[in-house]
Amino acid sequence: MDFEAVAKYSALHLKPAGLSLQYGTAGFRTKAGHLDHVMYRMGLLAVLRSRQTKSTIGVMVTASHNPEEDNGVKLVDPLGEMLTSAWEEYATRLANAEEQEIQSILTEICQKEAVKLHQYASVFIGRDTRPSSEKLSQSVIDGVSALGGQYHDYGLVTTPQLHYMVCCQNTQEHYGKATVEGYYQKLSKAFGELTKQASSSGDDQMCLKIDCANGIGALKLKEMERYLPKKLLIHLYNDGTKEKLNHLCGADFVKVHQKPPLGLEIKPHERCCSFDGDADRIVYYYNDTAGHFHLVDGDKIATLISTFIKELLIKIGQTLKMAVVQTAYANGSSTRYLEETMKVSVHCTKTGVKHLHHKAQEFDIGVYFEANGHGTVLFSKAAEEKIRHMAKEEKENQKREAAKMLENTIDLINQTVGDAISDMLVIEAILALKGLTVQQWDAIYTDLPNRQLKVKVADRRVIDTTDAERRAVTPPGLQEKIDELVKKYRVSRAFVRPSGTEDVVRVYSEADTQENADSLAHEVSLAVYHLAGGIGEPPQPVC
């Protein structure tokens, strides 16, 4: 290992004194000015991971739905999945190391992971549209170069596009071509084939307003438009030409504030959606004739997609095992509808896309979406082969056509990670094929009124949970108190979990009315405050 080069470059990317960061589900995220040394070191780590796996590794410079002044970085593993947890720990150690410790940590990683130092290393790099991203991606390049790795800088891409291209590269392009054009071509072709059977009277149903969060999604959709069939009319808003990234717009803003983004006027029953800053989340919404706002979130997206796939599986006569994976935040109505009406198996995991993704891999077909609109569908290799074989060889016309629709659905979905562009095309295709308006889709089931609150505590680690974060194990007496409070309200539930990033405890409640959901959330917040070391003023009732 050329430690001279590592030290020389390292001197150009010094760590600010006293800064400590943690690699989480979303990688590293903080103020952009604090990240130069982190980017350089993640370039170093990506080279070691590439040598260890003998594969191309991705490095994406983005802070997703965070404010424009923030930035972040995440590493992408060989099949487009998130970095494995053992290497997350290496990332944290390397990011927080003092200059004189870098050499010994790199050496230790090489020894523990049997990294061959002369192995060829390849790194794909992408970035979002933040003003800080170009300079920070150059710091990644310095890290890759210091250890003699090769890199391909894709420049401005969505996070899902980088995941996609890493997967393409490491499957010898079996998954697709490792170019942005290859991505556009694969998705557009599948969308065109899938929507061929939609009734021609549905022209007006293929019209969509898209809030691009003033981010990378706008640039990429503009590039992609010429590939898409003319029957899909998309109108882009918050395209980055005027306002700041994620400011009063984007999927996270719409989901949290339950209102349309700034810069997008909605007429009654117009179908609209919002991406987040790096285009890996999507939520839909509309206004009714009375002007009331309706959010169609990740739970409704999972329900629409899984229902569509289940109907096709019945048509082809296949007993492939399909499941929907949710977190504790999924609305109880969605769980009940899937289990009781659709007879679809539902599983709950801890919060965080990584946990959902791993669980979804256990099934022939695993559909997962967080309520915030981040999710995708995974098809096992065996299921995919079976479907593709039927699409080609099945003698019975109806079965063959249904198998072809499933095959096009497979090609339209970005299985590596949640992808706002891919998910949007899947949703638009299903709505067109079923002849559904956004209101009809929304009316599949009615969400239970719910409320999310947070309580400041001295140390969030006093809360420990089990049962996919739905029950508190510590502190003593807290879960018993929650159970007692829940019994006071109809069709209610509540849970608490520690934040992954700050000393707060998150409280979630559901009940038969909004008033009851608010009241339950407040009472649970007080229980957390008194039993889990709350600080500051006690929680106030929800206004």
The annotated binding site is made up of: 64, 276, 278, 280, 370-372, 497-501, 506
Q: How far is it, in rounded angstroms, from Cα 241 to Cα 369?
A: 30
Q: How far is it, in rounded angstroms, from Cα 284 to Cα 209?
A: 10
Binding site for Mg(2+), residues? 64, 276, 278, 280
The answer to whether 295 touches 266, Cβ cutoff 8 Å, is no
Q: How far is it, in rounded angstroms, from Cα 254 to Cα 194?
A: 29
Selecting among 10, 20, 55, 64, the annotated active-site residue is 64
Token representation of residue 260: 């349309």
Q: How far is it, in rounded angstroms, from Cα 16 to Cα 32?
A: 12
Binding site for substrate, residues? 370-372, 497-501, 506
The answer to whether 310 touches 456, Cβ cutoff 8 Å, is no
Q: Which helix (H) or strand (E) holds 312?
A: helix 298-316
Q: How far is it, in rounded angstroms, from Cα 20 to Cα 16?
A: 9
Token representation of residue 494: 């509540």
Q: How far is it, in rounded angstroms, from Cα 428 to Cα 438?
A: 10
The answer to whether 512 touches 467, Cβ cutoff 8 Å, is no
Going through 231-374 in order, the beta strands assigned E by DSSP cover 233-237, 272-275, 282-287, 293-296, 322-327, 345-349, 365-369
Beta carbons within 8 Å of 59's beta carbon, 6+ residues apart: 42, 43, 46, 73, 74, 75, 76, 123, 124, 125, 126, 137, 140
Three-state SS string across 117-170, please?
Answer: CCCCCEEEEEECCCCCHHHHHHHHHHHHHHCCCEEEEEEECCHHHHHHHHHHHH
Q: How far is it, in rounded angstroms, from Cα 77 to Cα 524?
A: 40
**Strand partners of residue 125:** 59, 153
Count of C-beta atoms within a 10 Å radius of residue 431: 24
- For the chain, the C-alpha Rg in angstroms (whole number) is 24
Any catalytic annotation for residue 20?
A: no
Q: Tell how strand 272-275 and strand 207-211 pair up.
A: parallel
Q: Tell how strand 293-296 and strand 322-327 pair up.
A: unpaired
Asked if the bond preceding 229 is cis, omega within 30° of 0, the reply is no
What is the phi/psi pair of residue 425, to 5°? -65, -40
Token representation of residue 73: 């970085």
Q: Tell how strand 56-61 and strand 70-76 pair up.
A: antiparallel
Give the residue numbers marked as catalytic: 64
